[in-house]
Structure 1
Amino acid sequence: MATDKVKNRLFKDIVNPVWEGFYVWGHGWPGWPERYGQFKNSTEVYAPIREIYGPVGSYYGDNGAMAGAYAAIYDNPYDNRAKVTYVMSNMISEYGASAFTHETPHLNDRIAYFGDYGRREGTDVEAYAQGLLQSPATQGHQGGYGALGLNMAFERENDGNQWYNTNPNKLNSREAIDRYMKGYNDTLMLLDSLEGEAVLNQGNQDLNNACFKKVDKQLRGNSKNQYDQVRSLSDSEKAINLTSIDDLVDNNFMTNRGPGNGVYKPDDFSSAYVNVPMMSAIYGGNTSEGSPGDMSFKHNTSRLWGYYGYEKGFLGYATNKYKQEAKAASKDTLGDDFIISKISEGQFNLLEDFKKAYFKEVKDKSSHGLTTVAIDGTTISSYDGLLALFKAAVAKDAATIKTDNKGNKSVSTSHTTKLKEAVYKKLLQETDSFTSSIFK
């Protein structure tokens, strides 16, 4: 995936050690040895630490079990002290492999992964790993499975029950990865369009107010940089007459599912770990004149990577590729508005305009034919065929609307999300992990 400009550095200049943790598994011994292999409250000694790691100065403690693994990085991206250190996670496990794909972006994001452009200003290390470049594992505590991600670690059966590309060995070139990301994002945009249209077609204001919430802007001090503030709809927003997907985009609405309400920051070590579930629809772009919020950053990076490819879309949005051009244009900050104009070569000035065009494109293409899928015994090969299923699922969910003592509406979306997941997984299967287009 790395560009030709930096590919050689990945092999020659950026060689980082990975240390397995010293927790002794499967021996019946009491856990983590001390510096020269001794165990607390035991006469047992662990020879590898006594003979090698302790004497050469490579022993480390268990960090109070504060981390499964961590990356040591320095201001100089070429600093040869950089490394990945496992603590409580077992490297030779599915979760350990996933953790490896989380930590290595921290080591390589400024050069090899990002074309030597560096991280986009206003972000930090955790904006890029979990929920974006990490390969999600089926196990573990981080909730990444079923959220945005790319599988570069695990071979899985193409059995119609997968969330990600089933064989990372097939993603052996930038072109192959871009093809996958195109099909992946086309499919998610299609499903978000179907869900939104099916909800709005019910003509039920209470349902609209229960199904959607707002992605708002929270400015960072006096700068133009912003955070995402995900919140419930205000009274005035509940009165909006929503009739189209464009209305959802213009109002920066999303489905009232995860991520939960709160503020998401790409520059911290808390909310920056947010995962964006694939089955949650984020309709707007929350265009920033500076750095975006973390949820929007991950979502927008994925969509732009899918539509424009790695070099143009990913590097253009997620890095400082256009920083100098923004400065030359007298911009104090590198904003979404400037970036989308550069990436689209002047076609779009707002991410919302890009999203509306993308939604229209996937609907138009699918109206001419889709990869055939069988859902609950029904064979579907068009947008209208899928829309009929989504309308029926939403109608079932609408029957569950509840009102709390403050007048707020809530609704179960279980039928809709179950259908959405089924269609996604079938399209992934039938296209062999999007090696072919979902459109006919």
Structure 2
Amino acid sequence: MKTKQGLVGTKYSIGVYDRITSDSWKYRNMVLPLLTLPERSVFVISTISSLGFGAYDRYRNKEHQANGDLNSFVEKSAHETAERQRDHYDYWYRILDEKGREKLYRNILLYDAYKFGTDHTEGKATEVANFDNPNPAMKHFFGPVGNKVGHNGHGAYATGDAVYYMGYRMLDKDGAITYTHEMTHDSDQDIYLGGYGRRSGLGPEFFAKGLLQAPDQPSDATITINSILKHKTSDSTEGQRLQVLDPTTRFNDAADLQNYVHNMFDVVYMLEYLEGQSIVKQLDAYQKMTALRKIENKYVKDPADGNDVYATNVVKNLTEDEAKKLTSFDSLIDNNILSAREYKAGTYERNGYFTIKLFAPIFSALSSEKGTPGDLMGRRIAYELLAAKGFKDGMVPYISNQYEEDAKQQGQTINLYGKERGLVTDELVLKKVFDGKYKTWAEFKTAMYQERVDQFGNLKQVTFKDPTKRWPSYGTKTINNVDELQKLMDEAVLQDATGTRWSNYNPEIDSAVHKLKRAIFKAYLAQTNDFRSSIFENKK
């Protein structure tokens, strides 16, 4: 890739001058203002997929003053941001096929908001400047270029060919996470999804937050992939880190990505199975009603295209009769059960900002009997397919319209804005991805749990920080087999079931199960070097 980037005058070049003078660049009037800037007031960041512009004074405040370290602070931050953006698209370059890689060479415009601080500004500048503003960045560059930016109250927004930072700033660390979010909106249909487009009924936010966007923090207890931030074991946050340490060394190709997610799910499925067993064998019906909920689909006519085949997930509390049916682990799958710990009762609207929790099980394999899955189940199953079949052969067919023609040939169609289109159903995806191996999604889910249960005898010993010890104690525990871990889980589940649940309940503080699972996961993450190997012996 580096060789291509040095090809001056081609689409592969990441030289700023090459980019802004190319035939495909929309704002060719940038050349003269950029070349004649009288002072350091504008920074530019170029990667294979984006070209970013911002003002130094976006970062000016009491802490970073014009006559102080403003210039050095901005330039250091710009270099760090350039490296992060580069690393993010190195990640995508490595996991996409050749066709997808070629499409990464493009010019997505990035603009930092026109919000300029002074030496007296507290924190971030918030006042929006217009083209008449005397600020040197506006006077000598943004004004002459004339690209009007619609400022709003969002953190950032994407338009398909551009990304505009609003509340977030391009050069901040959270601006890097924002980059992965907004660039997903500008990349998913034609690039990440193999050119097949989003699966009908799945909104743009489905693909970003909780799916292809990087996690907000290394400590996020969510099923997500860190594709942009390099962490260090010497970081103050290392003790809480649950995400990949360094994506540039962990993911060399798509096989590495599947390896990571599959080995991560070895831990996830194992801990979910043990928790599920503890619940069904120990808790009475009323305790199960507190610990668990169920997930269902409802279908509402889409306000845009008029179809009613896109599922909306609804999480409901259990009745006593429903709780009494939960007598085996398989009954948790068959009755579409999930944890009440982090999934509140209510409607999870389509196109929402949801994440799938690492330590709160979704035992259910609820599929859409009509067409497209809901936002919770869709994200969870997408990652389970990535673990089982990989990105291109598992996740992409499920979240894209890859099988649209197959659906059409089978007579499964919908009308989209006056045009007949194939409707990709969950049933069709299951049949195609697994070549008819599983009759139902529940059968697939049961098999995934069983794959791990069959390996329980090979579980590697692990030593972890004992979550029952109060800070600042650093006591540890060692488990040598699954039976020992099951005993600890039994104790934690009973403790949660018999303890007081406050109105401001927080699993990180109040749940013995959550804390046990976090400690085990963290220990295996470290022991396997970010899941480069399995937690089971004799398994890669």
- Normalised by the shorter chain, which TM-score bucket? 0.7 to 0.9
Is the contact between residue 371 and residue 427 of structure 1 (CA under 8 Å) also seen in structure 2? no
Work out whether 1:10 is the aligned partner of 2:104.
yes
1:42-121 alignment, distance < 5 Å:
45-63=134-152, 66-73=153-160, 82-121=161-200
Work out whether 1:264 is the aligned partner of 2:264.
no
Residue 32 of structure 1: CA displacement?
A: 3.0
CA distance in 1, matches of 2:148, 2:457: 61
Residue 111 of structure 1: CA displacement?
A: 1.4
Work out whether 1:382 is the aligned partner of 2:481.
yes
1:59-80 Cα distance to aligned partner (Å, 9 max, x none): 42532xx11111012xxxxxxx
Counterpart of 1:426 in structure 2 is 523
1:142-177 Cα distance to aligned partner (Å, 9 max, x none): xx9322211011122344521211111121321211
Amino acid at match of 1:394: V
Task: Between 88-97 and 327-336, report the one with greater CA deviation.
Answer: 327-336
CA distance in 1, matches of 2:164, 2:337: 40
Counterpart of 1:325 in structure 2 is 406
Residue 401 of structure 1: CA displacement?
A: 6.1
CA distance in 2, matches of 1:90, 1:183: 35
Counterpart of 1:218 in structure 2 is 298
CA distance in 1, matches of 2:205, 2:458: 41
Counterpart of 1:369 in structure 2 is 459
Amino acid at match of 1:368: N
Work out whether 1:360 is the aligned partner of 2:458.
no
Q: 1:396 aligns with which of 467, 492, 495?
A: 495
Counterpart of 2:337 in structure 1 is 253
Work out whether 1:35 is the aligned partner of 2:130.
yes
Task: Between 327-336 and 251-260, report the one with greater CA deviation.
Answer: 327-336
Residue 37 of structure 1: CA displacement?
A: 5.6
Is the contact between residue 180 and residue 435 of structure 1 (CA under 8 Å) also seen in structure 2? yes
Residue 297 of structure 1: CA displacement?
A: 0.6
CA distance in 1, matches of 2:331, 2:500: 22
Residue-pair matches, total: 406
* Root-mean-square deviation (Å): 2.2
CA distance in 2, matches of 1:155, 1:6: 24
CA distance in 2, matches of 1:156, 1:26: 32
CA distance in 2, matches of 1:130, 1:6: 22
CA distance in 1, matches of 2:502, 2:243: 37
CA distance in 2, matches of 1:131, 1:336: 20
Is the contact between residue 112 and residue 170 of structure 2 (CA under 8 Å) also seen in structure 1? yes
SS in 2 for 1:183: helix
Counterpart of 1:78 in structure 2 is none
Is the contact between residue 211 and residue 255 of structure 1 (CA under 8 Å) also seen in structure 2? yes
Amino acid at match of 2:224: G
In structure 2, relative to structure 1, the CA distance for the partners of 1:346 and 1:61 (3 Å cut) is closer
Amino acid at match of 1:71: A
CA distance in 1, matches of 2:247, 2:197: 26
CA distance in 1, matches of 2:151, 2:358: 35
Q: 1:154 aligns with which of 211, 229, 232?
A: 229
Is the contact between residue 283 and residue 497 of structure 2 (CA under 8 Å) also seen in structure 1? no
CA distance in 1, matches of 2:126, 2:279: 53
Is the contact between residue 214 and residue 253 of structure 1 (CA under 8 Å) also seen in structure 2? yes
1:193-342 alignment, distance < 5 Å:
193-221=273-301, 223-240=308-325, 242-266=326-350, 268=351, 272-289=352-369, 290-332=371-413, 333-342=423-432
In structure 2, relative to structure 1, the CA distance for the partners of 1:4 and 1:335 (3 Å cut) is same
CA distance in 1, matches of 2:320, 2:479: 39
Amino acid at match of 1:51: H
CA distance in 2, matches of 1:311, 1:33: 43
Counterpart of 1:77 in structure 2 is none
- What TM-score, normalized to structure 2? 0.71
SS in 2 for 1:352: helix
SS in 1 for 2:382: helix
Q: 1:348 aligns with which of 417, 432, 438?
A: 438
CA distance in 1, matches of 2:323, 2:461: 37
CA distance in 2, matches of 1:35, 1:273: 32
In structure 2, relative to structure 1, the CA distance for the partners of 1:33 and 1:47 (3 Å cut) is farther
Residue 4 of structure 1: CA displacement?
A: 2.3
Q: 2:209 aligns with which of 130, 136, 155?
A: 130
In structure 2, relative to structure 1, the CA distance for the partners of 1:344 and 1:118 (3 Å cut) is same
CA distance in 1, matches of 2:346, 2:496: 25
In structure 2, relative to structure 1, the CA distance for the partners of 1:375 and 1:389 (3 Å cut) is farther
SS in 2 for 1:279: coil
Counterpart of 1:21 in structure 2 is 113
Counterpart of 1:407 in structure 2 is none
CA distance in 2, matches of 1:10, 1:243: 51
1:80-106 Cα distance to aligned partner (Å, 9 max, x none): xx1111011111112111111101110
Task: Between 254-263 and 216-225, report the one with greater CA deviation.
Answer: 216-225
